[in-house]
Amino acid sequence: MTIPALELNDGHSIPQLGYGVFKVPADETERAVSQALEIGYRHIDTAAIYGNEEGVGAAIAASGIPRDELFITTKLWNDRHHGDEPNAAIAESLEKLGLENVDLYLVHWPTPAKDDYVHAFAKLIELRDAGLTRSIGVSNFLVPHLERVVAETGVTPAVNQIELHPAYQQRDVVDWATEHGIRIESWGPLGQGKYDLFGTPAIAEAAAAHDVTPAQAVLRWHLQKGFIVFPKSVRAERLRENLDVFGFELTDAEMAKIDALDPLDGSGRVGSHPDDVN
């Protein structure tokens, strides 16, 4: 199974499909990540706030997979944007992961009421230059946040990881990011199971036409849009299913029908609004 890689704006590349471990309990993470690595995943998305970086690290160490074949992302939590806290935070994450560096380090949320996300991103530039992370990016940033980090630091994040699924496509953020060479990572790519995505006719019909599951049709839609995805499951059969999305292609008409599922008034959002997280 070859997972396609996308090039980032800093010249590094990222596997377009990975495995996210949000809400995987700390004591189950080593087993879950080991299982994902065995099945063929090479890109793992974690975060300091998930509390499971040790488990990710234990699975990496046990796997014997060469470090340069893995792509590991972790994230700076909201209460550590100020001063030199990002330096301490990445050191703690690396210690837990048992790694000398990560492939991608993200500012997890902009926390706009605190107005310290530009500083946090500027610190990430230093961490990248010090070799502690290869690439740097942001998460949950809206257009005004992206505009400020680019204008005030002179560096364009490599990715913006945002809530994105058929009912919530954030086209303004995607368009701005795409124009500026920022890759989009879709979090909650399956809508976190919070609405009946799989029963939606556009999804169910596309799945039936290609003899795949609705989850596979949705993941295929993300991939064909050029988004990076890392769906979460702890079940081996679903991990296999979610990786098996490179043997079919949705037609333009099928893509357009899924594109049209966003009510466009923001009502399809299943997670927090970035302006409300501080």
Q: Is 55 in the site for ligand NAD (CB under 6 A)?
A: no
Q: What are phi and psi of 222, to 5 degrees?
A: -55, -50
Based on the shown chain and the rule CB under 6 A, indicate whether residue 37 belongs to the binding site for ligand NAD. no
Catalytic: 50? Answer: yes
Q: Does 200 bind ligand NAD (CB under 6 A)?
A: no
Binning the chain into helix, strand and coil, the percentages to the nearest 5 are 45, 15, 40
Is residue 232 within the footprint of ligand NAD (CB under 6 A)? yes
Single out the residue of 221, 224, 216 nearest to residue 242, CA to CA: 216
The structure tokens listed for 87 are 């330096």
Cβ atoms of residues 57 and 30 within 8 Å = no
Q: Which of 3, 14, 17, 20 binds ligand NAD (CB under 6 A)?
A: 20
Is 190 among the residues that bind ligand NAD (CB under 6 A)? yes
Of 19, 50, 105, 168, which residue is the catalytic one?
A: 50
CB of 239 to ligand NAD, least distance (A): 8
User: From the list 114, 148, 238, 269, which residue makes contact with ligand NAD (rule: CB under 6 A)?
Assistant: 238
Is residue 130 exposed (0-12), middle (13-18) or buried (19+ Cβ within 10 Å)?
A: exposed
| Residue 215 is a binding residue for ligand NAD (CB under 6 A) | yes
Q: Which of 206, 198, 212 has the alpha carbon at shortest distance from 250?
A: 206
Nearest approach, Cβ of residue 29 and ligand NAD (Å) = 11
Locate tokens 């310290």: which residue? 116
Q: Which residues of the shown chain bind ligand NAD in the complex (CB under 6 A)?
A: 20-22, 45, 108, 139-140, 161, 187-193, 215, 230-233, 238, 241-242
